[in-house]
Amino acid sequence: MILELLKKIDEYKDEMIQIRRHLHQYPELSFEEHQTKKYILDFYRDKDCQIVNNSKITGFFVKISGKNPGPTVALRADFDAIPVQEETDLPFKSKNAGVSHGCGHDGHTAYLMILAKVLIEFKDQLNGNIIIIHQHAEEKPPGGALEMIAAGCLADVDNFFSLHLISTMPYAKVFFNAKETQAARATFKVELVGRGSHGSEPHNGNDAILAASHLIIAIQSIVSRKVKPGEMAVVTIGSFDGKGSPNVIKEKVLLEGDVRCMKDEVAALIEEQFRQIAEGVAETFGVGLKIEYNQDYPVLYNDPEMTELAMQGVKDIQKHAPEIKEVAITSPLSASEDASHYLRKIPGTYFYVGAGQIDKETYPHHNPKFDLNEDALVIAAKAMIGVLARYFNWK
């Protein structure tokens, strides 16, 4: 059965690439993926599977029921795009201005659609069930995962597996990490309101720029003085909106930024310290303060047992899939991922497939020139077959 599944992936490679290129040309932003959803739904219309479609959200899932009883596993791919203008010379580059698949979700969706097609063809040989989650809005907090879970995609699911194609990881390699694997993310907005005045009369005003500048310096002490050395934590101010006239004391400033860390307790500590410092600075300078602080995505935690199972499954499949050159351990990633919500509900693992370019320059995710090595889609499909083979004990 394993050899037959792998053979089918090779047979459908051209279709997989065609799907990816179609999606790449017509990217849609988070929570707005209406045409993308229709395209994927149409793919499943004539297939022997159960489509569970909640019309109130732009994601949906598919249930592949095996002939015999057994465990139920969920596989997930995201399909939203990002607000970045593509700057490649690809013949299938984005046709939607200011929007592109600059994070590779088109590749995730294409590989999973073809894998699902193959699994449906072999459903009578399955002992158990497979849920195929086509998820919207991974890129925009609070993320589509929460809506998918509310729609019932994890009902009766025993374990969860998913992967990410990574352009900055070497092609033909598959990477795993157990326990804390991707960072929690919080975002914040801070508004400081002073009193405007003429630049020649600063004593008649209250400078919000001065207060905001002190706040920026002060919050850097959170990581350096409050977070235990060795713990991963980053606090970033990404926007300082204080533009005004050169001879005017600025009345209002808006700061925006984000926080990354690898433990729940660190996330809570940083928020507590952030609020305390902001309130202290506001009181010191006598300015008004508004804080909007959101814990967007939790730490992504990979179950050690499921991670070991998945890694061994990919190693097992190597003898039949020579495209997979190496299976290795990676260090935790500082990026965030809303697959963390699924892994908070049920044990599973989230792993990585190297999709670096071979004969041209590689660009990181979210870069306007980002592109994937399309051969990595086949590796993704075959790696997941390895995981499923180990999980279901296929021969």
Question: Between the CA of residue 206 and those of 196, 251, 290, what are the distances in Å?
Answer: 7, 7, 16
Q: Are 143 and 339 in contact, with CB atoms under 8 Å apart?
A: no
Q: Does residue 296 have an active-site annotation?
A: no
Nearest one of 262, 261, 268, 264 to 293, comparing CA atoms: 268
- pLDDT recorded at residue 371: 97
Query: pLDDT digits over 116-128, tens only?
Result: 999 999 999 999 9
- pLDDT recorded at residue 395: 84
Sequence letter at residue 368:
P
* Distance, CA of 113 to CA of 136 (rounded, Å): 15
Active-site choice (138, 207, 271, 338): 138
- pLDDT recorded at residue 69: 94
Q: Where are the domains of the chain?
A: 2-181+299-392, 184-297
* Distance, CA of 96 to CA of 99 (rounded, Å): 6
Fold classification of 184-297 is Alpha-Beta Plaits (3.30.70)
CB atoms within 10 A of CB 7: 12
Q: Which strand (E) or helix (H) includes residue 302?
A: strand 300-302
Q: Are 303 and 349 in contact, with CB atoms under 8 Å apart?
A: yes
**Mean pLDDT computed over every residue of the chain:** 97
Active-site choice (80, 86, 106, 371): 80
Q: Which strand (E) or helix (H) includes residue 212?
A: helix 208-221
- pLDDT recorded at residue 117: 98
Q: Are 194 and 241 in contact, with CB atoms under 8 Å apart?
A: no
CATH class for the region spanning 2-181+299-392: alpha beta
- Phi/psi at 237 (nearest 5 deg)? -95, 110
Q: Which residues of the chain have pLDDT under 70?
A: none
Percent of the chain residues topping a pLDDT of 70: 100
| pTM for the model | 0.94
Helix (H, G, I), strand (E, B) or coil at 202: helix
Percent of the chain residues topping a pLDDT of 90: 99
Q: Does residue 138 have an active-site annotation?
A: yes
- Cβ-proximal residues to 165 (8 Å cutoff; 6+ apart), any chain: 104, 107, 108, 111, 352, 353, 355, 372, 376, 377, 380
